């Protein structure tokens, strides 16, 4: 066991509880210093997580409402214009099918139902359709609803807010300085503007990243900090999974289970009161250490990630219970 000053872990906890770790040197030490042992680090992150969320875990299900046909060239994405990945492409699903999937999510005890549409952003007709679906879902089931539909401006955000949407998702994906290496058809600032529009109209913001795309440790830090400034209420931390045919290819990502857990701890300590979600690629990269992700993270996906499979809802819920945590559900209003 390495001889390490326990006060470092204490300082991490204190910083997290005081509003969030702001010391970049300490953040990089979490990722780089072999003397920072994993179990004390997880405990430091857990004390912050426990303050805001106890032992509750929010399980979310994704509904890929439209798959493929996207004009953007995001190098990591199987749905992008330049991808040669073998996926099933389809236009927007019938509304009754979308509603049935929302009902199944609620019946399975999901905390949140997220509708995802590929494409650059919705036109007025598609926006109206999505707003109507949100209204119908919220009228029928006590479940939180999130929408991910690409770039939107403030009037679009206002329409979705009026329909009852709880949260809008638009991931930053990586640091501004690394963005040109993963996409050419839009910029980091374009993504940031969408998040600012959503937040300005009163929508909660969900925004995260994909780690393992060739970014530096400094890049990870410079994604974690603007998410705190945006007051992102949910931060999905995805771990890169190469789908054959994607432009990005099989990068040397270095995503060991321990590395993934350290990254989750970093995001918890920088964003103490946000829902930190161990998202896409968790099963592949954390493997047997997946239950330890619940110490920094309080959110998980079940039943897959758009074009990548995942654990079944029953298996996810059992893992949560076996680890001594509890599945959180939305309470039905009187």
User: Would you please indicate which residues are annotated as catalytic (active-site) residues?
Assistant: 70, 74, 77, 114, 146, 206, 277
Q: Are 330 and 143 in contact (CB under 8 A)?
A: yes
How is residue 180 annotated by DSSP? G
How far is C-alpha 133 from the geometric centre of its chain's CA atoms? 22
Contacts of 276 (CB under 8 A, 6+ apart): 49, 235, 237, 264, 267, 268, 296, 297, 298, 299
**In a 3-state reduction of DSSP, which class is residue 40?**
helix
Structural element, H or E, at residue 317: helix 313-322
Q: How far is CA 113 from CA 57, 60, 227, 233, in A?
A: 15, 6, 22, 15
Rounded Cα distance between 61 and 113, Å, is: 5
| Distinct helix (H) and strand (E) counts, the chain | 11, 10
CA dihedral 96, 102, 106, 109 (to 10 degrees): 140
Rounded Cα distance between 16 and 228, Å, is: 12
Q: How far is CA 159 from CA 63, 115, 124, in A?
A: 21, 16, 10
Q: Are 209 and 237 in contact (CB under 8 A)?
A: yes
Give the ranges where 54-169 is alpha helix by DSSP (H). 95-107, 124-140, 154-163
């Amino acid at each position: 066991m390495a001889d390490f000053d326990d006060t470092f872990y204490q300082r991490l906890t204190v910083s997290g509880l005081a509003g969030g770790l702001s010391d970049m040197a300490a953040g990089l030490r979490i990722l780089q210093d072999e003397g920072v042992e994993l179990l004390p680090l997880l405990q430091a992150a857990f004390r912050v997580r426990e303050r805001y969320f106890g032992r509750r875990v929010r399980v979310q299900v994704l509904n890929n409402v439209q798959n493929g046909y996207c004009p953007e060239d995001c190098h990591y994405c199987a749905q992008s214009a330049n991808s040669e990945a073998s996926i099933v492409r389809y236009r927007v699903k019938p509304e009754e099918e979308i509603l049935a999937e929302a009902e199944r999510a609620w019946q399975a005890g999901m905390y949140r139902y997220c509708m995802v549409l590929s494409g650059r952003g919705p036109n007025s007709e598609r926006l109206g359709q999505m707003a109507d679906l949100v209204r119908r879902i919220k009228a029928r089931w006590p479940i939180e609803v999130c929408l991910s539909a690409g770039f939107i401006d403030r009037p679009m955000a206002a329409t979705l807010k009026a329909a009852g949407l709880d949260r809008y998702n638009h991931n930053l994906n990586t640091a501004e300085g690394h963005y040109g290496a993963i996409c050419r058809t839009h910029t980091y600032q374009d993504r940031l503007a969408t998040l600012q529009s959503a937040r300005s109209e009163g929508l909660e913001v969900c925004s995260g990243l994909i780690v393992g795309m060739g970014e530096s440790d400094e890049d990870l830090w410079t994604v974690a900090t603007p998410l705190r400034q945006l007051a992102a209420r949910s931060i999905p931390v995805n771990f890169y999974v190469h789908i054959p045919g994607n432009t990005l290819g099989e990068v040397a990502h270095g995503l060991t289970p321990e590395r993934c857990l350290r990254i989750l701890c970093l995001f918890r300590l920088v964003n103490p009161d946000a829902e930190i979600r161990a998202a896409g690629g968790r099963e592949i990269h954390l493997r047997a250490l997946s239950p330890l992700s619940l110490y920094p993270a309080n959110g998980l996906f079940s039943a897959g990630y758009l074009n990548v499979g995942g654990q079944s809802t029953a298996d996810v819920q059992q893992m949560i219970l076996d680890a001594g945590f509890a599945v959180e559900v939305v309470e039905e209003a009187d």
